[in-house]
Structure 1
Amino acid sequence: MHKTGKKGLSLARRLYTSRILGLALGLLVVSAALYPLDPAPWVWGFMLSNGLLWPHVSYQWARRSTVPYHAEHRNLVIDAFLGGFWVAAMQFNPLPTAVTLAMMAMNNVAIGGLRFLLVGAVAQVAGITVGIFMFPFASVPMTSPAQLYACLPLLCLYPLALGWICFRQAHTLGRQKRELLALSRTDSLTGLLNHGAWKDRLNEAFQHCRRQSPDGAGHGVIALIDIDHFKAINDTYGHGAGDVVLRQLGKLLGQNLRATDIVGRYGGDEFGVILPDLTLLSAVQAMEGLRERFTAQDYGRDPALKVSLSIGLAAFTADYADATAWLDDADQVLYEAKTSGRNRVVCQRHRPVLEASAV
């Protein structure tokens, strides 16, 4: 119900502007067509009310309704009914009639597609029926030059306004879709890629390495990073402090790596980094620098809080059948880093290890 209400209010606001313009221009068309027919004073009063007051009444009616979306659809049916009524009142003058029906059909299609076009057509037929009863049909008048010129503003300006409204709506929907896609691929706490998005980028990086380096030499490294004793941090200092630590690591990763490096929160207190076109030695140096900077971080609210990192590195080789095998290697050496004392960087396949004293 809440979503329907918001959707209805948005629809009512969009239609408020278009209804003001459309009915004002339509008033000009109907006035020019009715003037030679010398209608009764009440017809002029009703026509002015429809053209000048109805847009504001219909908007307030929809805005104050419990379900604005349904209320606005009701207003559109009333618009169609009144359009049919004025067609009969104009005695089916060819050009004003065609312009009125065409503009209303275009509006109904833009709002609700074929279904609402049919609903509007039924309402127009009902309005024409009532109009014929109140204004007995005599003969079809010829369209005069004055009536032709009265139709031109509606023919030119209303489609432009409706097209602009549709464009703005499409632009807004496109932006919202992009924002939702970004949110679906982003970790809300750190602002980094989430698990699924990072794994997608890992598969892309794996394919890139296979194309660029058939022999598997020096074209990419995976780093898996784990915050040491993170559960103890949460238990001792609270989950708020744990969140601060996670955000701080995410911030450091963004500040200290290359723009081409792909960083994501792999899960919980574990982060993943894809280092494309980098040798294992260079990756070790980069991760060691990151480890040292993170260990030196000061948490003002909790001065006793000291945090370290365990990092496992795996360089791409042509032996890997897929990205999962590459990631498994990095996960294995991260496990070695954690079981051999933590606070250190370890490479796969027992390559040289850079270590720091455990905290």
Structure 2
Amino acid sequence: MPKKLHTTLVNDTHHSGLRFAKRTYLPRIVGLGTGSFCVGSVMIEHTTPGWLWLLLFINGFIWPHIAYWKAKHSSAPFRSEIHNLQADAVFGGIWIAIMGFNALPSATIFAMMGMNNISAGGKSLFFRCATAQITAALALLFVAELPFQPQTTPFQLYLCLPMIMIYPIFLGNVTYRTSRKLAEHKQAIMQISVRDGLTGLYNRRHWESLLSNELESFRRYRHKTTLILIDIDSFKAINDSYGHSVGDQAIILLAQELKQTMRAADIIGRFGGDEFAAILPHSTKLQAKRAIERLQSRLANNLFPQHPQLHIHISAGIAECDDTQETPTQWLNAADHALYEAKKNGRNRVEIAE
């Protein structure tokens, strides 16, 4: 693997891990903070040493910041954060054992941690952390010979309510925002896969798939459909005389004028380089020709204020769909041949395929 590519992949993995750690930071603050009240509701009704109260405070209110700092400064933040989640599970098991498996606080802590682990890493992380939590709880219960006291008092129930009510709502909001971002990223990727980066029109691959659909539609419903191929005249001369930036600007301007001239139902794509294509459903070849003539009139205006002598001229080939075109390639070839004739006959003109 090239060194530059390897470095890029490592950086992407690092940034992804940092985002993951940041995503779990706030849920950990809220979850462990409210969870401390669940544990404290049991400990306060029994004789509890001061060092255990200090440990509860550290775990509930200081550990979330230590965990985030640890992941943030790790060379592998994602792996570090997974270890943090496992540590959360072990601590959860310890508190469940110290509470003597008190029913409601124990079930609340187990359920909320499970919810957090599923949202963070799916079923795999949930089972790993649940196993660690149960193992820690049972081991401490038997090793320290702690009493088994599953009864929940009304006072303990009330102090569990903040976690039961607040944490699911907070985690749901975090999950919702994450899903929104993923949906936006997915939409952006879909746009990249079907759109041309320079003009925003359909790229050739996607446009050709739409061409196949229109051919099938013609065969089924027998409605008139016309294909147009458009090419900028003397485009190489524009690049040579004015530079590639002006050439790109010419392509962008033509795309904009195409969108202004054609109907919303027309399917416009950048076919490659300075060549464009449009499918006009429910249109005859004469209607398509009039559309190109309107486009030529718009292009006759001065579109380059810094280069008033520069005008965009186009040639176009038109092919109306009929029964002789059995494949999209044959339909394209008919329009391409008409475009060739337009170029051969002097350019800046429109030819219709026979």
Given that 1:313 and 1:334 are in contact with CA atoms closer than 8 Å, whether structure 2 keeps it comes out as yes
CA distance in 2, matches of 1:141, 1:294: 82
| Equivalent in 168, 174, 186 of residue 177 of structure 2 | 168
1:115-159 per-position Cα deviation (integer Å, ceiling 9, x unaligned): 212321343245336744884313425221211222233223322
Correspondence for 2:313: 308
Name structure 1 gaps, 5 residues minimum.
350-359
The reply on whether 1:50 has 2:59 as its aligned counterpart is: yes
Correspondence for 1:352: none
1:64-114 per-position Cα deviation (integer Å, ceiling 9, x unaligned): 333322221121111111111111211222222222222212222222122
| Equivalent in 176, 183, 199 of residue 192 of structure 2 | 183
- AA aligned opposite 1:245: A
CA distance in 2, matches of 1:113, 1:285: 58
Correspondence for 1:60: 69
Correspondence for 2:6: none
CA distance in 2, matches of 1:66, 1:134: 36
Correspondence for 2:28: 19
Closer, same or farther: CA 313–149 of 1 in aligned 2, 3 Å = same
- AA aligned opposite 1:234: N
- AA aligned opposite 1:148: L
The reply on whether 1:297 has 2:302 as its aligned counterpart is: yes
Correspondence for 1:356: none
- Tell which deviates more after alignment, 180-189 or 140-149: 140-149
Closer, same or farther: CA 242–141 of 1 in aligned 2, 3 Å = closer
CA distance in 1, matches of 2:142, 2:60: 22
Matched residue count: 345
- AA aligned opposite 1:227: I
CA distance in 1, matches of 2:199, 2:239: 17
CA distance in 2, matches of 1:341, 1:117: 71
Correspondence for 2:88: 79
Name the SS for the 2:44 alignment partner: helix
The reply on whether 1:106 has 2:115 as its aligned counterpart is: yes
- AA aligned opposite 2:192: L
The percentage of aligned residue pairs carrying the same residue is 40
The reply on whether 1:142 has 2:151 as its aligned counterpart is: yes
The reply on whether 1:333 has 2:342 as its aligned counterpart is: no
Q: Which runs of structure 2 are paired with 1:196-275 in the superposition (5 Å)?
A: 196-213=205-222, 219-275=224-280
1:161-191 per-position Cα deviation (integer Å, ceiling 9, x unaligned): 2233223222321221122101211111111
- AA aligned opposite 2:321: F
Name the SS for the 1:165 alignment partner: helix
Given that 2:228 and 2:316 are in contact with CA atoms closer than 8 Å, whether structure 1 keeps it comes out as yes
CA distance in 1, matches of 2:302, 2:76: 53
Given that 2:299 and 2:311 are in contact with CA atoms closer than 8 Å, whether structure 1 keeps it comes out as no
Name the SS for the 1:343 alignment partner: coil
Deviation at 1:197, TM superposition (A): 1.5
CA distance in 2, matches of 1:281, 1:138: 91
Name the SS for the 1:273 alignment partner: strand
Name the SS for the 2:316 alignment partner: strand
CA distance in 2, matches of 1:163, 1:298: 52
Given that 1:295 and 1:309 are in contact with CA atoms closer than 8 Å, whether structure 2 keeps it comes out as no
Given that 2:103 and 2:152 are in contact with CA atoms closer than 8 Å, whether structure 1 keeps it comes out as yes
- AA aligned opposite 1:61: K
Deviation at 1:286, TM superposition (A): 1.2
Given that 1:86 and 1:131 are in contact with CA atoms closer than 8 Å, whether structure 2 keeps it comes out as no
Q: TM-score, normalised by structure 1?
A: 0.90
- Tell which deviates more after alignment, 21-30 or 198-207: 198-207
